[in-house]
Amino acid sequence: MDKIIVRGGKQLKGTVNVEGAKNAVLPVIAATLLASEGKSVIKNAPTLSDVYTINQVLRSLNAEVDYDGYQIEVDATKKLAIEAPFEYVRKMRASVLVMGSLLARTGKARVALPGGCAIGSRPIDLHLKGFEAMGAKVRVGNGFIEAEVDGPLKGAKIYFDFPSVGATQNVMMAAALAQGTTILENVAKEPEIEDLANFINKMGGRITGAGTGTIRIEGVEKLVGVEHTIIPDRIEAGTFMIAAAVTEGDVLVRGAIAEHMASLVSKLEEMGVSITPEEDGLRVKGPKALKPVDIKTMPHPGFPTDMQAQMMALLLCANGTSMITETVFENRFMHVEEFRRMNADMKIEGRSVIVTGPSNLQGAEVAATDLRAAAALTIAGLRAEGYTRVTELKHLDRGYLNFHNKLAALGADIERVTEQVEETPVIKDAKAL
């Protein structure tokens, strides 16, 4: 079992480079299935376990995928298979994003039902509603979702009850090869949506409005493989900005794009953190005393739910009471119990957490409950007295590359170790007890 061991008290100083965005590369890889001609070349693809998983999904669908640690080449021109197996969907919900492309390319898709996860029940009803509006018949049974369409998908006008990131992406991919025009209303506006639209447009697609509340897609007959460079990861960038702030550090986060993170930048500034744009990123300087603030997670451009846990770590160090309200996922406070193990003073009230700072954080053994919690607990460890040990790093590896090495290069006292754990044996016989 891998563990991060961090000893608090060091100020972070120096420069850290941001990788390509996990949440942009996954849909872009799914969209490479739309190309019936030519290879797609995706640059700035981060080496993450989620990227491995989506590559495996594509391979299981009969696409050829090569990855050299930076660039992914996908050839999806052969006859595609139609089933995304449970083994991958179980590991990563974003596997469901192949459904739109598969349906558009082959008229059929069979994808294991993703089920819930540690942060909420996460249904995909809005994705399916979109496919149905374009003429697909959708059936759910035996743990799979099957969608099928007779002839091409048809353009439609679709209103999303909630601006779901995944539903916007999945339906946008399906509509790219549909017959006629699709208009999507109340869509997600995240930068990753724009990155996907830019990629599909380079392939020959006709999408306008990505990044606004309405997207218009004129279906085309064919899309071809092209080269594309993934945008920097605003969540990884934000995570390092908070790590700098929590340690009274001075860090240049190279690759951070201020316009992608306006809500985070303004909340950090409210807390007294200095953020200065430089040519190739944002310089972050943590103050001696942090001020408390209230935050409410919202779809973009609101405060991102993927920064909520890291922000909680920072607010624990502020002088006063802050309130964090989570509106995007119904169960994204699992890390609160782990922070409490570090002596954090927090109270959950419905969908909000009242954080009373400054907590006298103490090092403890804590378990990551999701990938952002893994980063947030490590950040709290940078400030805590003594040693913090963070376990369940399989979550961290889904979304962060070389996290501990990057922090160590900035001056943190941190290492990642592999420890043998005693497995509980399978008991088949009472005599074994």
Ligand X SMILES: CC(=O)N[C@H]1[C@@H](OP(=O)(O)OP(=O)(O)OC[C@H]2O[C@@H](n3ccc(=O)[nH]c3=O)[C@H](O)[C@@H]2O)O[C@H](CO)[C@@H](O)[C@@H]1O
Ligand Y SMILES: C=C(OP(=O)(O)O)C(=O)O
Residues annotated as catalytic are 117
Taking CB under 6 A as the criterion, the residue among 72, 94, 171, 275 binding ligand X is 94
Q: Cα-atom radius of gyration of the chain, to the nearest Å?
A: 22
Residue 23 assigned ligand-binding role: yes
Q: How far is CA 200 from CA 40, 44, 75, 127, 177, in A?
A: 11, 17, 15, 18, 10
Which two tokens mark 383? 């400030």
Residue 315 assigned ligand-binding role: no
At its nearest, how many Å lie between ligand Y and the CB of residue 94? 5
Taking CB under 6 A as the criterion, the residue among 26, 175, 282, 384 binding ligand X is 26
DSSP secondary structure of 350-412: TTEEEEEE----B--EEE-SSHHHHHHHHHHHHHSBSEEEEE-THHHHHH-SSHHHHHHHTT-
Q: How many residues does the chain have?
A: 433
At its nearest, how many Å lie between ligand Y and the CB of residue 220? 29
Does the protein bind ligand X through residue 187 (CB under 6 A)? no
Residue nearest to ligand X (CB): 166
Q: State the Cα torsion 193-198-204-206 to the nearest 10°.
A: 60
| Closer Cβ to ligand Y, 80 or 119, answer by number | 119
Q: How far is CA 91 from CA 23, 25, 85, 111, 316, in A?
A: 15, 17, 11, 13, 31
At its nearest, how many Å lie between ligand Y and the CB of residue 56? 15
Taking CB under 6 A as the criterion, the residue among 42, 138, 145, 167 binding ligand X is 167
Give 373: exposed, middle or buried? Use CB within 10 Å, 0-12, 13-18, 19+: buried
Q: Is 209 helix (H, G, I), strand (E, B) or coil?
A: coil
What does 9 interact with, of ligand Y, ligand X, none (CB < 5 to 8 A by kind)?
A: none
Taking CB under 6 A as the criterion, the residue among 372, 383, 395, 406 binding ligand Y is 372
Q: Which residue has the tokens 């920072």?
A: 314
| Closer Cβ to ligand Y, 233 or 286, answer by number | 233
Residue 231 assigned ligand-binding role: no
C-alpha 339/C-alpha 336 separation (Å) is 5
The answer to whether the CB of 106 falls within 8 A of the CB of 151 is no
Q: Pattern 325-354, binding to ligand X, x per CB under 6 A? A: ---xx-------------------------
Does the protein bind ligand Y through residue 392 (CB under 6 A)? no
C-alpha 325/C-alpha 308 separation (Å) is 9
What does 399 interact with, of ligand X, ligand Y, none (CB < 5 to 8 A by kind)?
A: ligand Y
Does the protein bind ligand X through residue 164 (CB under 6 A)? yes
C-alpha 361/C-alpha 384 separation (Å) is 5
Residue 122 assigned ligand-binding role: yes
Does the protein bind ligand Y through residue 407 (CB under 6 A)? no
Q: Pattern 106-135, binding to ligand Y, x per CB under 6 A? A: -------------x----------------
Residues 305-334 that bind ligand Y (CB under 6 A): 306
Taking CB under 6 A as the criterion, the residue among 14, 123, 143, 277 binding ligand X is 123
- The stretch near ligand X (CB under 6 A) out of 119-127, 222-230, 253-261, 385-393 is 119-127
Q: Which residue has the tokens 């003594």?
A: 386
Q: Which residue has the tokens 């809005």?
A: 126
Q: Which residues bind ligand X (CB under 6 A)?
A: 23, 26, 93-94, 120, 122-127, 162, 164-167, 188, 305-306, 328-329
Q: Residues annotated as binding site for phosphoenolpyruvate?
A: 22-23
Residues that bind ligand Y (CB under 6 A): 23, 93-94, 119, 306, 371-372, 399
Instruction: Extract the annotated binding site for UDP-N-acetyl-alpha-D-glucosamine.
Output: 93, 122-126, 306, 328
